[in-house]
Amino acid sequence: MNILDKIIADKYKEVALKKSVVPISQLEASSLFKRDTFSLATALRNSTTGIIAEHKRRSPSKGTINQNTNVGQVAKGYRNAGVCGISVLTDIKYFGGSLEDLQLARASVNTPLLRKEFIIDEYQILEAKANGADVILLIAAVLSREQIKTFSELAKSLNLEVLLEVHNEEELQKSIMPSIDMLGVNNRNLKTFEVSLETSKALSKMIPDNFVKVSESGISAVDTIQELRPYGYQGFLIGENFMKTENPSESANAFIQKIAR
């Protein structure tokens, strides 16, 4: 069993437990459930930098990245640096995140927030809305076409945007549908954790222009963004590169200033 399979197996158990503790009616009663959402897709289309900065404490491939951050302060720093959106990890076991992190980020900024999570159940989409997310992540590698359709349509009904993540042509072909806003190409193989920008380059030609193209993982240099822009990418998800530094928001600010120049 590879790490992705382990994460998903644990996620089914986690979600089953949550559903037994917090009913859907309680999620729908949340004050955040009724809020108007912010559009990450629009922010990326209108941006000259396209940075989505991530809050991530650890990962299965890298271990501890940064355990000492205050998510609210990081979110404010990212906002001040001029990011288009903020990705907040909410998986506890493997990434050290939580829904509380999402709530704190929401209380701190009006920037579009992506709930970075392994979504395998409609319950998690309602949970995302109830805790202040604007965007959900769907990972094609762990979902069927039917699940992608069901989950993305539910998200749209809640005014949440959908970033659909793919790793290869097969995943991309099953994922193209009107209820998706952004197509993210993950340059990291989730089974081996090897990273290659060639993944973004190769798949870019197959993504219709009506989707916002986002490149994810392995982006640590401004040159990389300039290399990917001709392939139509408007969004760049960066986590570890900022989070591994002592001051993630300062790192993000310096990075964005370089792009702007």
Among candidate residues 66, 87, 152, 186, the one labeled active-site is: 186
According to CATH, the superfamily of the domain at 3-260 is Aldolase class I (3.20.20.70)
**Range 142-164 average pLDDT:** 98
Whether residue 158 is predicted with pLDDT greater than 80 in this model: the reply is yes
Sign of dihedral through CA atoms 54, 100, 131, 171?
positive
Pairing of strands 85-89, 161-166: unpaired
Question: Is residue 165 flagged as an active site residue?
Answer: yes
Instruction: Dump pLDDT digits (tens) for 159-203.
Output: 999 999 999 999 999 999 999 999 999 998 776 778 899 999 999
236 DSSP β-pair partners: 51, 215
The answer to whether residue 56 is catalytic is yes
| 252: Cβ contacts below 8 Å, ≥ 6 apart | 51, 53, 77, 78, 81, 83, 238, 242
Secondary structure string (H, E, C) spanning 247-258? CHHHHHHHHHHH
Catalytic-residue membership of 186:
yes
Instruction: Name the active-site residue from 117, 127, 216, 240.
Output: 216
pLDDT tens across 94-146, in order? 999 999 999 999 999 999 999 999 999 999 999 999 999 999 999 999 999 99
pTM over 0.85: yes
pLDDT above 60 for 93: yes
pLDDT digits (tens, 9 = 90+) for 209-220: 999 999 998 898
In percent, the amount of the chain with pLDDT more than 90 equals 84
Ramachandran quadrant class, 64 (left: phi over 0; alpha: psi -120 to 50; beta: rest): beta
The rounded mean pLDDT for the chain is: 93
Which candidate, 116, 71, 124, 126, places its Cα nearest to that of 94? 116
Q: What are phi and psi of 59, to 5 degrees?
A: -150, 160
Q: Is 93 a catalytic residue?
A: no
Give pLDDT, residue 58: 72
Sign of CA dihedral 92, 96, 97, 98: positive
Q: Which of 11, 14, 56, 131 is catalytic?
A: 56
Given this model, what pLDDT does residue 64 score? 59
Averaged pLDDT, 227-252? 92
Is pLDDT above 80 for 52? yes
d(CA 130, CA 148): 20
How far is Cα 61 from Cα 130, in angstroms, rounded to an integer? 30
Other beta carbons less than 10 A from residue 103's beta carbon:
20
Catalytic residue among 11, 59, 66, 116: 116
Confirm whether 76 is a catalytic residue: no
Q: Is 54 a catalytic residue?
A: yes
Please tell me the predicted confidence (pLDDT) of residue 15.
98
| pLDDT at residue 149 is higher than 70 | yes
Query: Domain boundaries in the chain?
Result: 3-260
Confirm whether 227 is a catalytic residue. no
